[in-house]
A and B are shown apart, each in its own frame.
Chain A
Amino acid sequence: DAGITQSPRHKVTETGTPVTLRCHQTENHRYMYWYRQDPGHGLRLIHYSYGVKDTDKGEVSDGYSVSRSKTEDFLLTLESATSSQTSVYFCAIIQTGRGGRTEAFFGQGTRLTVV
């Protein structure tokens, strides 16, 4: 447990509406990530952040934007939700320990349904 909480846990929204998902962490991690999980695709990176106001795109960033105004919060926004964005979204931090072991820690996920 790396102190990661996501909100909301579930959301149903209509096509074309904006949606913001929140990831909050309590352990001052520098790097934060948003993934989506879809059957047959596993976990795919949407965007990540390497510091306050420093973000970069992942492999499936189209239709998404992110913001990080504080270390502890990383927001994922769907500007105009589409049905293809129905998915389960996971926030994560990835850290490398003293032994050089890299590990990802995940939030509990947000199930988003776009109708």
Chain B
Amino acid sequence: DQQVKQNSPSLSVQEGRISILNCDYTNSMFDYFLWYKKYPAEGPTFLISISSIKDKNEDGRFTVFLNKSAKHLSLHIVPSQPGDSAVYFCAAPINNDMRFGAGTRLTVKP
């Protein structure tokens, strides 16, 4: 039962443009969401989070939007840079565990 879903396995954008990564969830009990970034041969690292009491959280070039009624969140990266090329996971903690989406591989082309 994959409670957190990322339906796009890959995304390619041009440097300087916006990258939009999407995530859907099914469990209404989730009240906090995180995005992780993963480079090859490294462990995932925390990028940005959002609480369910908010609909937007911004940190520099990264903004996460939450639509609770649609059970959908998205990560926007503006402007995208080649160094942003990585796999991005959305995640939600529940019951001392963390549920992860399948990940989206972002490629930013120079």
Q: Tell me the A residues contacting B by CB distance below 8 Å.
A: 4, 31, 33, 35, 39-45, 48, 50, 58, 90, 92, 94, 96, 101-109, 111
Contact = CB atoms under 8 A, between A and B. Distances in A.
A48 B93 CA distance: 14
* Interface size range of chain B in the complex: 20 to 34
A42 B36 CA distance: 11
Nearest to A107: B43
Contacts, number: 65
B73 interface: no
Contacts of B36: 104
A18 to B, nearest CB: 25
23 contacts: A4-B43, A31-B96, A33-B98, A35-B100, A39-B9, A40-B9, A41-B102, A42-B100, A42-B101, A43-B89, A43-B91, A44-B100, A45-B97, A45-B98, A50-B96, A58-B97, A92-B43, A102-B32, A104-B93, A107-B43, A108-B42, A109-B42, A111-B41
Nearest to A4: B43
